[in-house]
Amino acid sequence: MEIRPLEDLRTADNLSLAFNPYGLGGRMKPEDAAEFQQRQIADCDLAAGVAAGTRDSFDRLRTVFAYGVLCYDVYTMVGDQALLIYEQALRDRFMEWCAGTITFRAPQSPDVSHTVTSYDDVKKRADGMRGQRAKLVVATHTIEFNGMLHGLRLWARTAGLLRGRRSRAVEDALAKLRNYVAHPSGHHVDTPVEAARTVRDLAELINQLWGQTTPNGRLYPAPLRRDIAVLSWNGSGRARMEPADALTVHDSTEDQEDVAYQHVVVRAIPFVPGSRWDDAHWAEFDTRYETTRFPTEYLWGPGTREQARTWMEQERPEGDSVDFTDRVFLVQDHERLLPPMRPAVAAGLPDEERVGVWHAVRADFPADAFAHVRGSGDRSAGHTRRPGDCSACSAEVLGVGSHDEALRAAAAALGPIQAVQPPSVRLPLSTFWPDRP
């Protein structure tokens, strides 16, 4: 080992200086690079209730990350350690959840409960129960549990501590990377970008385990704000979305231009081009089918601009917040595959429209549910056809069968479903969902 003088240890690593706010290219000053890299994870704060052990490990990780400017290899060490803290967080949360007692259920045997004071106790008890084919009791469910990372992930999902269908795929990837770090078979190097993303993902996962969502998060985002908006279209195929405030502007020229337009008032995610939460499907709005990317709620219409203005002034609707993850959709396959539908709308269909095969699917986005059902028709594609998480996409199968069977599967996940019969309103031209009856 080469003994380096203190001055060398204080010198910025040229590789680290190459990463700047605009990507690679040019070099930053050491003091600017130090500030820039620290800002990449500066807002990764943990929820107040996070266990002390997990919090201490995460705080050390953020402290060490800053020294990557002096030694580029620190970023690889930070990325690797973050993956190991992933399992530590699950263990700490499990110990809080079980409150000192875990219960196993074996076939044709009474439940067996054990007192545990540490996670080592949990692993010993889990190992001891495996020979009896016993499963861990989690609320009303039982799961295979060996105390390892896979069992912890299954427990966290079953206990409802982790959410989202797309985030499940990221959890799978993190688990594989964690196993690679714990049992290395080669060499790898992380960039500051990769290390910062791993730290940010870890912060989101930890906070979600302790019940806190992340505003603008990548994995477990907080509920999104929905505002009142006006969707308008005319016979020539032009469509637009406006904030509700636009209706308060009364202009005679504008009214003459808009006479050919139809208007509906909705509660929707604001359209912000380039945003992570930009709803590129807003112009696909349909009261019957879930054809927008995020939940869009019908309020009034269609009608003229003046009628929309009058309704708004009388009713004064307000915006709200909505969680778009883990939604349940029903997809009807009758002569052709139709777009996903909300269970409440499906429950309100007349008997003659309940024909065909129905799929109850849990997904974050309507397109994910539709893609799963379409893909499940090809056995070689690897999509799950039985109830459970699909290994080929970000969807969970709840049930397949008749209309009533699919609706019962949806009700098992959501609770009682109140049928609704919304008026038939849609923007007439569609790019993403053209095949609608």
**Amino acid 144: pLDDT:** 93
pLDDT number for residue 250: 55
CA distances from 318 to 70, 228, 250, 294 (A): 51, 7, 21, 18
- pLDDT class of 320 with cuts at 50, 70, 90: very high
Predicted confidence at residue 256, as pLDDT, reads 54
pTM of the model: 0.90
Mean pLDDT of 200-211: 97
- 54, 209 contact by CB (below 8 A): no
The β-bridge relationship of strands 19-20 and 101-105 is unpaired
Distances (CA, A) of 116 to 89, 98, 106, 209: 18, 9, 19, 20
Residue 377 has pLDDT above 90, yes or no: no
Residue range 91-139, pLDDT digits in tens: 999 999 999 999 999 988 899 999 999 999 999 999 988 878 899 999 9
CA distances in angstroms from 269 to 222, 350, 422, listed in the order given: 13, 31, 20
Question: For 54-75, what is the mean pLDDT?
Answer: 95
Q: For 249-263, what is the mean pLDDT?
A: 64
* pLDDT for residue 253: 45
The three-class DSSP label of residue 385 is coil
For the residues 4-29, what does the mean pLDDT come to? 83
Residue 257 is predicted with a pLDDT of: 56
Contacts of 158 (CB under 8 A, 6+ apart): 138, 139, 141, 143
Using DSSP's 3-state secondary structure scheme, residue 221 falls into: strand
CA distances from 297 to 159, 286, 289, 425 (A): 30, 10, 11, 12
Residue 255 is predicted with a pLDDT of 53
Stretch 212-231: mean pLDDT, rounded? Answer: 95
pLDDT digits (tens, 9 = 90+) for 381-406: 889 889 999 999 999 999 999 999 99
For position 252, what pLDDT does the model report?
Answer: 45
